[in-house]
Amino acid sequence: MSSCHKPLQLLVLLFASLLFLQQAGAGEWSGYLGVEGRTFFNDPTDPRQKGDNLSFVAQPEYYTDWDNGNQSLLFVPFVRLDQNDPERSHADIRELIWLKASDNWELRTGIGKVYWGVAEAQHLVDIINQTDLIEGPDGEEKLGQPMINLSLLREWGTVDFFILPGFRERTFPGRKGRLRSVPGIDPNNALYESSRKELHVDWALRWSHIIGDWDIGLSYFDGTSRDPRFVPSVNSSGETLFVPFYDQIQQTGLDVQVTKEGWLWKLEAINRRGMGETYNAFTAGFEYTIVGTLDSQADLGLISEYLYDDRGINAITLFQNDLMLGTRLTLNDEQSTEFLLGIITDMDETSERSYFIEASRRIGDRWKLNLELRIFSLQNPVSPFYALRNDDYLQLELFRYF
């Protein structure tokens, strides 16, 4: 299931299967087409990296159900065509999943997507799906994961069993792409701890429950780490690149949210074994919402999250002792206008910061405009993210929904 680098072939395949499904009958099509423009404010760190970029994206969705809605099939293909980075031109099956549901259980079989957790700044507990990192540096986009998932719905909570056959490698920007490490990542020669490589079958277990104001989740994962480590390596043309190395890990996760009127208190914590030394990490914080700010209909949310990783500055993460402060403005207007502003600061070296603004607004009933601005203030040459220092960008996306 490694990501495909022949988007045109995949596109043809996609449309053929879409047509087939439409012939098959009773389902329903929806989805979106989008165009994305990115402009970078500085010259790239590596002269081979390109500047301003245009990109097209499509994500149709086919849904059909039968058996009184107790069985359904969902198909969500995805394709992006990118002006400058051939790696970013990629396709994926986000979902192709059959659901069978009963009163007390649900069975999902196919390629699916699962989200665990409560925090905003990072998603420590969320581990089922691989990150489609080439889509955006925030890592919010995920690749489809082959799975068999049985959910048991009980009075004392929901228990989910997962069997995850087939591992997806993380996607990374290519040689010409921005927002990558320097040297870049070699996407074709990933290394694995397991001799079965990407065929290793992972499994996971989760219990989740609501007790009054508390939403609680406890999870366990055993299998191939979604986060790689990186090994410097020289390829056949003599170029130094980082090769991703995927360990076998065991991860225990806890996520809790306590909702008290305007306050959301959040905690995500993990213990991970198998990636070198055993380590712990957590995200803890709150979101407080002021309803009807300044006599208007807008809601103002104040967000603060502290991010900790006990590997300290050796952590292959930006977030070993960091603070995220953010504010969310929801206008509650007809266009569903929203703004999210934030700053993430390294508490060890407060000069290491990143700023972001995300905004979105519907236009008419069928269009949507998204804006994203990211500024990296990084001065420490030892940091693995130092390479992003010249990649401040402004991004506009226009989507047409159908």
Partner 1 sequence: MKIRILMLSSLILLPLELFAQSPEEKGLAIAVEADKRDTGWNDIKTELSMVLRNRQGQESKRRMRSKILEVEGDGDKSLIVFDYPRDIKNTAFLSYTHALKADDQWLYLPALKRVKRISSNNKSGPFMGSEFAYEDISSQEVEKYKYKFIKDDQINGRDAFVIERYPQYKHSGYTRQIAWVDKEMYQPLKIIFYDRKDSLLKELVFIGYKQYLGKFWRPLKLEMVNKQNGKSTTLEYRDYQFKTGLTDKNFNRNTLKRTR
Q: Which residue type occupies 72?
A: S
Q: Which stretch binds partner 1 (CB under 8 A): 130-138, 150-158, 182-190, 232-240?
A: 150-158
Rounded Cα gap, residues 382 and 329, in angstroms:
36
Q: Which of residues 225-244 bind partner 1 (CB under 8 A)?
A: none
| Residue 66 binds partner 1, judged by CB under 8 A | no
Q: Which stretch binds partner 1 (CB under 8 A): 111-119, 162-170, 196-204, 306-314?
A: 111-119
Kindly state whether residue 131 participates in binding partner 1, applying the rule CB under 8 A.
no
Site for partner 1 in 307-336 (CB under 8 A): 332-336
- The 12-51 site mask, x for binding partner 1 (CB under 8 A), equals ------------------x-x-------------------
Residue 264 binds partner 1 (CB under 8 A): yes
Residue range at the interface with partner 1 (CB under 8 A); choices 4-12, 221-229, 304-312, 362-370: 362-370
Report the 3 state secondary structure along 153-169.
EECCEEEEEEEEECCCC
> Which is nearer to partner 1, 64 or 377 (by Cβ)?
64
Q: Choose which of 17, 72, 83, 383 interacts with partner 1 (CB under 8 A).
A: 72
Number of other CB atoms surrounding residue 286 within 10 Å: 16
Taking the least distance from each CB to partner 1, the nearer of 46 and 299 is 299
Strands (E), 102-183: 105-112, 145-154, 157-165
Determine the residue type at 279: Y
- Answer whether the bond into residue 183 is a cis peptide, omega within 30°: yes
99 binds partner 1 (CB under 8 A): yes
153 contacts partner 1 (rule: CB under 8 A): yes
β-pairing verdict for 214-224 and 157-165? unpaired
Cβ–Cβ under 8 Å, residues 290 and 264: no
As a whole number of angstroms, the distance between CA 253 and CA 218 comes to 6
Q: Which residue has the tokens 């004392």?
A: 156
Task: Find, among 242, 310, 227, 219, the residue nearest to 275 by Cα.
Answer: 227
| Cβ contact 127:254 at 8 Å | no
What residues line the site for partner 1 (CB under 8 A)? 30, 32, 63, 65, 69, 72, 99, 101, 103, 106, 113-115, 118, 140, 151, 153, 158, 208, 210, 213, 215, 257, 259, 261-264, 287, 289, 291-292, 297, 299, 332-336, 362, 365-366, 368, 399, 401-402
